[in-house]
Amino acid sequence: MTEIAFHFNAPDRLAYCCRLLRKAVSANARVVVTGLPDTMAQLDKLLWTFSPTDFIPHCLSDSEPDLVAASPVILAAAIQSVPHQQVLINLGQHVPAGFERFERVIEVVGLDDEDRSLARGRWKHYTEQGYAITRHDLTLKTSP
């Protein structure tokens, strides 16, 4: 069964996602990030600039098929046709259709009320489907 984790209280969801991707790629994980097309475009740009010493190899899901197959990170508005099935990071507003084919799903939740409210709906959906959820409160990790 797919492992589900919610990472709450990310002050900057995209910057946090970049750090998650850096960690995942260093562990040789194959990751798909999903969200709205504008969010994927912003993340694509940020992955090129977020760190002067790190490079996260990635591509958009509509890139050439050989590039998509070779890239450890795929940015996709929809996940139906992506080849990776290891880790899914959801930056979208809803539960991604087809999430259950991934080994792990990570939901990144920011600080604003709308994002938190939408996350509660996704949490409820997963629990109603019988998934156990791991909760990571990011404010606890940054407290002294």
* Structure confidence by residue, pLDDT tens digits, 16-69: 999 999 999 999 999 999 999 999 999 999 999 998 898 899 999 999 999 999
CA of 144: how far to CAs of 5, 7, 70, 116, in Å? 24, 19, 41, 24
Asked if pLDDT for residue 144 goes beyond 50, the answer is: no
User: Cβ contacts of residue 108 below 8 Å, gap of 6+?
Assistant: 7, 10, 13, 16, 17, 20, 89, 90, 91
Q: Using one digit for the tens of pLDDT, what is the confidence trace for 72-107?
A: 999 999 999 999 999 999 999 999 999 999 999 999
User: Taking phi first (over 0 means left), then psi (-120 to 50 degrees means alpha), and beta for anything else, what does residue 130 get?
Assistant: left
Strands (E) across 77-143 are located at 87-90, 104-108, 133-137
Structure tokens at 52: 């002067």
Which band of pLDDT confidence, cut at 50, 70 and 90, is reported for residue 141? low
Q: What is the pLDDT of residue 94?
A: 96
Which band of pLDDT confidence, cut at 50, 70 and 90, is reported for residue 143? very low
Round the average pLDDT of the chain to a whole number and report it: 95
**Residue holding tokens 């760190």?**
51
* Residue in 18, 86, 91 with CA at minimum distance from that of residue 54: 18
Q: What is the pLDDT of residue 54?
A: 87
Q: What is the pLDDT of residue 142?
A: 52
* Residue in 34, 22, 41, 11 with CA at minimum distance from that of residue 105: 34
Kindly report the CA angle at 30 between 46 and 99, in degrees rounded to 5? 95
Structural domains in the chain, sorted by start: 3-142 (3.40.50.10110)
pTM for the predicted model, two decimal places: 0.94
DSSP state of 62: T
